[in-house]
Amino acid sequence: MKLSEKEKAAHREAFQKMSLPDKLGYIFSYYKAYIIVPLIILIALGHFIYARITRKEEVLYLALINVAAGDTFTQAITHGFLAETYEDAAKKQVILYPELYLSDNASADNNRYAYASRIKLLGSIEAKKLDVAIVNKEAYDILSHSGYLADLNEFLNKDELNTYTAALVYNDVWINDNRIDHLLDEDIAVDDSALLICNGIDLSAFPLIRKAGFSDTLYLCVIANTQHKDAITSFISYLSAD
């Protein structure tokens, strides 16, 4: 209902007599719907614009499995790699999964840790959020036998294969594996036939690995469903550079 001119005048007079805090409270109470909704929209728009401006492109997903690495090495394979490879390195990022643990013979103390690591790895591979892994021999065998690794003869081009020939490693990929069925029923014959596939790179002679001083032999493995082939080949080249 519209107010009469007399009522409007009375409201104006009453408003003029209010203290500043009362005036602000009155304005907010009367116009809050007109203030809050635009404010919410403005804040949401600001967050969206900020996220778009500051968002970094994820160029590589990298895991360290059964590898105890210090800050110097992890910085080298993340920020160091980006700075060496990309002109706009500040807009790129490497997603690193450190300190993962895989074992088929985990101790009682490490069993829960190994299980959690395996679940994280499987989830990352399924979501295509893992491209490459640096691993010890035990983890390399597990990933290879399970068929998660790319055949490097198909992944790398001819020149790249020639460059890394001395470091290429072959491992078994099980085609059939019914050992669990055999354990449940001994009448079922074991069938664990496998193919020997080139799916690892021995990093022992790679300068960046040598400088880090690892006691175990480490291997680089490419995950078969990776979406970042160019970044991986650049990463391998970075590790091997003097």
CATH of residue 194's domain is: 3.40.190.10
Shared domain check, 136 and 17: no
Is the pLDDT at 25 greater than 60? The verdict is yes
Shared domain check, 113 and 34: no
Shared domain check, 224 and 168: yes
Shared domain check, 30 and 17: yes
Note the pLDDT tens digit of each residue in 155-185. Answer: 999 999 999 999 999 999 988 665 555 455 5
Is the pLDDT at 54 greater than 60? The verdict is no
Shared domain check, 95 and 15: no
Residue-range definition of the domain harbouring residue 26: 5-53
Shared domain check, 11 and 116: no
pTM, two decimals, is 0.74
Shared domain check, 115 and 45: no
Is the pLDDT at 202 greater than 60? The verdict is yes
Shared domain check, 171 and 103: yes
Percentage of the chain lying above the pLDDT 90 cut: 60
Shared domain check, 215 and 137: yes
Task: Say which residue, 79 or 24, is predicted with more confidence.
Answer: 79
Shared domain check, 204 and 90: yes
Over residues 233-237, the mean pLDDT reads: 97
Binning pLDDT at 50, 70 and 90, where does residue 141 land?
very high
Shared domain check, 61 and 44: no
Query: Average model confidence (pLDDT) for the chain?
Result: 85
Distance CA 43, CA 40 (A): 5
Counted residue by residue, the chain has a size of 242
Of 14, 30, 53, the one marking the end of a domain is: 53
User: Residue with structure tokens 């055999």?
Assistant: 182
Note the pLDDT tens digit of each residue in 214-227. Answer: 989 999 999 999 99
- The tally of domains found in the chain comes to 2
Shared domain check, 86 and 73: yes
Distance CA 81, CA 234 (A): 9
